[in-house]
Chain A
């Protein structure tokens, strides 16, 4: 059996591989060398690679984004980490105005090979300012690459590819993926930063997921299978660009499309996916493509509200039946003795 690692371990291994293979790589972020090591993703790296290359930093998100950019201009390959996307909002000036433009606005004379890891929080009352999923903001800006790996395999391979890429790459990691196991090859390997992956084949409907919502799509596909509906699941993985070829091939086969995003639906990545499918495969669609994501509401903190806020597999499956015009009843969700759905698994006991 292939070696299994958790998602957060795969991230740590990717950074260690790059630190070991390239002296220009360094990792920097608030609390990076601390005992908790950004949810375990940087634990032990400073002991192994030294304080010059695995660095703490002041809580100066914008300034430090400029600092890593400046270091990249003179030959370094920094990895900057934000424990929440919400803190990266403070760095929009440097990401949007500077890092994204530096290659273009000087006519290709310089490159800005920076990688920015941002973690999307969820549950345990993360609330309005610890749970935003702002991939659409970043993907809207020409010059930034944006990826959202879902599996431990991709978390490692895509992070290595991001660090080796000469463009600024934003890697969004959903906190609820951190404890999930999966096969992860040893050594140095890259996954592409511009294509999606079919993670379950089917012929009746296409479910395209981003990040954690890919897992909900897979659960929905399992529910649908129990009543004879074969859903195809695409792990979108990359936003710049959305992999239209894989999408259109799948839609050509199924004729139906649902996109599940970790963010607010309005003005989101799902709209882009639906636009691509409609624009390139309009005549092949048998029902209006649908989007599923968060309502246009800030994240509530109380679990009583948060449980209403996040869509889950059952919602995807119901929407699939609606689009397919099937009126059969879905199997019930597996029973649970947990009072709330605000943690990814029973082992998760907060606070983050």
Chain B
């Protein structure tokens, strides 16, 4: 399992393209002010969720944080329900009560995303405990960013996952910035994030999060190890977001990061690298790629239309679901 076959790689490309095109469409439409919720786009960060999700089985569970669209879509989350959620509609995946920051799709085991950075790491570890106690054969994936490892709960629950040998894959997408704060003012430059995992006896690997082949290979190995031994593992994947922390714009002009830095990461675009490699290897024709784009665009347009045509939640939804029953 050193490299994906051309068939798998085409599927990986398609999944990354789908995320890319959806995110860019959201960015294009966001200025209309109809999607009225904080929205953290993952343009540039498509490879980690796609490479990880390819190895998941039906029944596996996924938790995410604020930048969750890619995690949701790569897992097979319903695009129409996601768009309707961003538009605040009753047909949204959380009935309009969550927004972009609280996506959910239980049909595919996408158990939720939350904007309090590391909170869901603990919930993911708990789901792994619960599913293990119930004798089920599932693994749990917890996605988070580099800033989440600065919150105590990351350490608390990575320790516990290790103590209980729980089947959790921790996926840290290191995109170098917490909002507008660079990594080196937040974390000691000589200490790697994977070393924290090692200190908790969790096997950890770092890799190029903009190289889908590498993500696919590392995730496959980590997940196979988890399934084999019921032991947690961590991946730290280096990547970069192209747009501002929250919202649809390029923010290189405001001064916390440079246009040149962004450009250097755009040169390593995970989608283009995958596409170009497939074209060069003969695993994809330009016509195939154009068809892929067309299909995604059609699905996306239908999802946006569905969202816009859906009703808003009725007034009585306001007070429903505070408590169950």
Question: Measured between alpha carbons, how far is A145 from B106 in the docked complex, in Å?
Answer: 25
User: Which B residues from 287 to 325 make CB contacts under 8 A with A?
Assistant: 320-325
* Chain B hits for A97, CB < 8 A: 114, 116, 119
By the criterion CB–CB under 8 Å, are B106 and A109 in contact?
yes
Pick from A58, A98, A104, A142: contact of B159, CB under 8 Å = A58
Residue B163 interfacial (CB < 8 Å): yes
By the criterion CB–CB under 8 Å, are A74 and B127 in contact?
yes
Residue A294 interfacial (CB < 8 Å): no
Residue A35 interfacial (CB < 8 Å): no
Residue B160 interfacial (CB < 8 Å): yes
Using A66-B119, A97-B116 as known contacts, say yes or no to A104 and B321 having CB atoms under 8 A apart: yes
Nearest CB in chain B to that of A24: its residue: B134
Residue B128 interfacial (CB < 8 Å): yes
* Chain B hits for A67, CB < 8 A: 122-123, 125-126, 129, 157, 160
* Chain A hits for B92, CB < 8 A: 107
* Chain B hits for A58, CB < 8 A: 156, 159-160, 163
Question: Measured between alpha carbons, how far is A66 from B127 in the docked complex, in Å?
Answer: 9
By the criterion CB–CB under 8 Å, are B130 and A94 in contact?
no
By the criterion CB–CB under 8 Å, are A106 and B102 in contact?
yes
Q: How many A-B residue pairs have CB under 8 A?
A: 144
Question: Measured between alpha carbons, how far is A63 from B156 in the docked complex, in Å?
Answer: 5
By the criterion CB–CB under 8 Å, are A110 and B106 in contact?
yes
By the criterion CB–CB under 8 Å, are A111 and B324 in contact?
yes
By the criterion CB–CB under 8 Å, are A66 and B98 in contact?
no
Contact with A along B105-118 (1 / 0, CB 8 A): 01000011010100
Question: Measured between alpha carbons, how far is A109 from B102 in the docked complex, in Å?
Answer: 12
* Chain B hits for A108, CB < 8 A: 95, 320-321, 324
Nearest CB in chain A to that of B103: its residue: A106
Contact with B along A92-130 (1 / 0, CB 8 A): 011001100011111111110000000000000000000
Residue B121 interfacial (CB < 8 Å): yes
* Chain A hits for B96, CB < 8 A: 107
By the criterion CB–CB under 8 Å, are A70 and B122 in contact?
yes
By the criterion CB–CB under 8 Å, are B112 and A110 in contact?
yes
Residue B97 interfacial (CB < 8 Å): yes
* Chain B hits for A167, CB < 8 A: 323-324
Residue B131 interfacial (CB < 8 Å): yes
By the criterion CB–CB under 8 Å, are A106 and B133 in contact?
no
Chain A residues touching B, range: 35 or more
By the criterion CB–CB under 8 Å, are B122 and A109 in contact?
no
By the criterion CB–CB under 8 Å, are A70 and B119 in contact?
no
Question: Measured between alpha carbons, how far is A145 from B325 in the docked complex, in Å?
Answer: 14
Question: Measured between alpha carbons, how far is A67 from B119 in the docked complex, in Å?
Answer: 10
Residue A276 interfacial (CB < 8 Å): no
Residue B190 interfacial (CB < 8 Å): no
Residue A330 interfacial (CB < 8 Å): no
* Chain B hits for A30, CB < 8 A: none
Residue B94 interfacial (CB < 8 Å): yes
Residue A166 interfacial (CB < 8 Å): yes
Pick from A66, A107, A143: contact of B126, CB under 8 Å = A66
Chain B residues touching A, range: 35 or more
Question: Measured between alpha carbons, how far is A276 from B97 in the docked complex, in Å?
Answer: 30
Contact with A along B203-236 (1 / 0, CB 8 A): 0000000000000000000000000000000000
Query: What distance in Å separates the Cβ of A1 from its nearest Cβ neighbour in chain B?
Result: 37
Residue B282 interfacial (CB < 8 Å): no
By the criterion CB–CB under 8 Å, are B116 and A74 in contact?
no
Residue B153 interfacial (CB < 8 Å): yes
Residue B104 interfacial (CB < 8 Å): yes
Question: Measured between alpha carbons, how far is A93 from B115 in the docked complex, in Å?
Answer: 12
Question: Measured between alpha carbons, how far is A110 from B153 in the docked complex, in Å?
Answer: 22
* Chain B hits for A74, CB < 8 A: 61, 127, 130-131, 134, 136
By the criterion CB–CB under 8 Å, are A105 and B320 in contact?
no
Question: Measured between alpha carbons, how far is A70 from B92 in the docked complex, in Å?
Answer: 23
Contact with B along A62-98 (1 / 0, CB 8 A): 1111111111111110000000000000000110011
Using A76-B134, A105-B94, A107-B97 as known contacts, say yes or no to A66 and B106 having CB atoms under 8 A apart: no
Residue A26 interfacial (CB < 8 Å): yes
Residue B147 interfacial (CB < 8 Å): no
Residue A326 interfacial (CB < 8 Å): no
Question: Measured between alpha carbons, how far is A106 from B131 in the docked complex, in Å?
Answer: 21
Using A52-B133, A70-B130, A76-B134 as known contacts, say yes or no to A63 and B116 having CB atoms under 8 A apart: no
By the criterion CB–CB under 8 Å, are B159 and A107 in contact?
no
Using A62-B152, A63-B153 as known contacts, say yes or no to A70 and B129 having CB atoms under 8 A apart: yes
Question: Measured between alpha carbons, how far is A145 from B116 in the docked complex, in Å?
Answer: 22
By the criterion CB–CB under 8 Å, are A73 and B97 in contact?
no
Contact with B along A42-57 (1 / 0, CB 8 A): 0000000000100001
User: Which A residues from 131 to 146 make CB contacts under 8 A with B?
Assistant: 142-143, 145
* Chain B hits for A106, CB < 8 A: 94, 97-98, 102, 104, 112
* Chain A hits for B104, CB < 8 A: 106-107, 109-110
Residue A302 interfacial (CB < 8 Å): no
Residue A60 interfacial (CB < 8 Å): yes
By the criterion CB–CB under 8 Å, are A66 and B123 in contact?
yes
Residue B74 interfacial (CB < 8 Å): no
Using A62-B156, A66-B119, A105-B94 as known contacts, say yes or no to A76 and B130 having CB atoms under 8 A apart: yes
Question: Measured between alpha carbons, how far is A70 from B112 in the docked complex, in Å?
Answer: 11
Question: Measured between alpha carbons, how far is A129 from B96 in the docked complex, in Å?
Answer: 41
Residue B124 interfacial (CB < 8 Å): yes
List 11 A-B residue pairs with CB atoms under 8 Å apart, sorted by A's residue number.
A52-B133, A58-B156, A60-B156, A64-B122, A69-B122, A72-B126, A73-B111, A105-B97, A105-B98, A143-B323, A167-B324
Q: Which 9 A-B pairs have the closest CB atoms?
A: A70-B126, A66-B122, A63-B156, A107-B95, A71-B130, A60-B156, A67-B126, A166-B324, A108-B321
Given contacts A98-B119, A166-B324, could you give 10 more A-B pairs where the C-beta distance is less than 8 Å? A60-B160, A63-B157, A66-B121, A67-B157, A98-B114, A103-B322, A103-B323, A105-B98, A106-B98, A109-B106
